[in-house]
Structure 1
Amino acid sequence: MEPNTRFAREMARKVLKDYSLSDIPTDLTKIFEGLNLKYVELNDADEIDGAILAIEGKPAIAVINKARPLHRQRFTLAHELGHIFLQHSKRDIYDPEEVREQDLFQGKKKPPAEIEADTFASELLVPYDQLKKFEGNLSDVDKLARTFQVSNQAMTLAIMNYWKYGVKKKKKA
């Protein structure tokens, strides 16, 4: 099954609209509060960046590795929100050990649900409509990354996608 990245981007835009999030950086706490979802910061979680823990009959809890840089924590929280809003089931979400083994030994890609959650997180943290406002300054990746509170890598990908999809939108108009 191929990942539905278009749907993931559209869902992120819907969440931004539904939670009235138009400022940058995106305020993830508003979404967590709106979902009545808590998150816990762990200091000693070497193996994970974060996860959603769902215990039957209790509200889910997001776990985040506090030892990671702020931009990584934000991306991880947005990624985990992606799993929730995209309604991925447990079977859709990867086991880090399994993926690590696949990457090393079999050359397989991330499962579609992980790609979708990454796409959701990217659009949530660097919304197309917000990035468009910086069109004249897209060459300053460091400054934009700091403004949106994402990594340089995430910002570079967002800019690449902006040109890829933004130029298509302009040509169709």
Structure 2
Amino acid sequence: MDISTRRMINSLAEDILNVYDISVPIQNIGDIVEILGGTIQKETSFSDGAVEKEGDGFRIIVSPYQDEKRERFTIAHELGHLFLHMGYRTNKELWARQENNIYHRIGSSEKEYQANEFAAAFLMPASEYLTVLKRIADGNVVDTSKIAEYFNVSVEAASNRGKFLGYLRW
């Protein structure tokens, strides 16, 4: 994914957080989905998650076999597909064409990377990440588990976000 696409995705995530007055760290992502006009359903037939248009809103389907942190990231990932690839509240023509389309969280396509970037930016906005990083850093030593705890994400997600933002070394 190129830098301009990454910037656009991060900007979109920030815009959604601002427009819907969503506080970070997000405490209950299920409440956010409801505010946005959707529902969450757990089904065993999906590997991780999926999103589909349902009437004027949407439905996110998640596997019940994920831990809480993975489920939160999966839901945010599906929100990425919703806004980026389905046009929900961002592109009326694209949204109108979404009948019978369902996005599954499978594989490693460009759209999957984009949805992952959205999820990370939505759960861990860059400015908030840097604020937390500065607060917990001890010189050049950063305990990413504390960042992960703050945002209620996995250590891997917090570490990857810091690296992609250029705040942490690969």
Tell me, yes or no, whether TM beats 0.5: yes
Q: TM-score, structure 1 length as denominator?
A: 0.73
Give runs of aligned pairs for residues 1-173 of structure 1, distance below 5 A.
4-25=5-26, 27-42=28-43, 44-45=44-45, 48-54=47-53, 57=55, 59-88=57-86, 93=103, 96=106, 99=107, 110-134=108-132, 135-138=134-137, 139-163=142-166
Mapped to 1, the partners of 2:110 and 2:67 lie a distance apart of 26
Cα deviation, residue 10, structure 1: 0.9
Q: TM-score, structure 2 length as denominator?
A: 0.74
Mapped to 1, the partners of 2:160 and 2:42 lie a distance apart of 27
Mapped to 2, the partners of 1:130 and 1:16 lie a distance apart of 12
Question: Any conservation in 2 of the 1:94–1:111 contact (CA below 8 Å)?
Answer: no
Cα deviation, residue 41, structure 1: 1.8
Higher RCO (CA-CA < 8 Å; seq separation 6+): 1
Query: What residue ranges of structure 1 are gaps of 5+ in the alignment?
Result: 100-109, 166-173
Over the aligned positions, Cα root-mean-square deviation in angstroms equals 2.8
Q: Give the % identical residues.
A: 25
Q: Deviations over 1:105-154 (max 9, x none)?
A: xxxxx222111111000000111121121214241111211221111111
Helix, strand or coil: the match of 1:13? helix
Q: Deviations over 1:4-44 (max 9, x none)?
A: 222111110111111112331354234312222111123x3
| Structure with more helix by fraction | 1
Query: What residue ranges of structure 2 are gaps of 5+ in the alignment?
Result: 87-93
Mapped to 2, the partners of 1:76 and 1:17 lie a distance apart of 21
Helix, strand or coil: the match of 2:30? helix
Return the letter of the residue paired with 1:69. Answer: D
How many correspondences in the alignment?
150
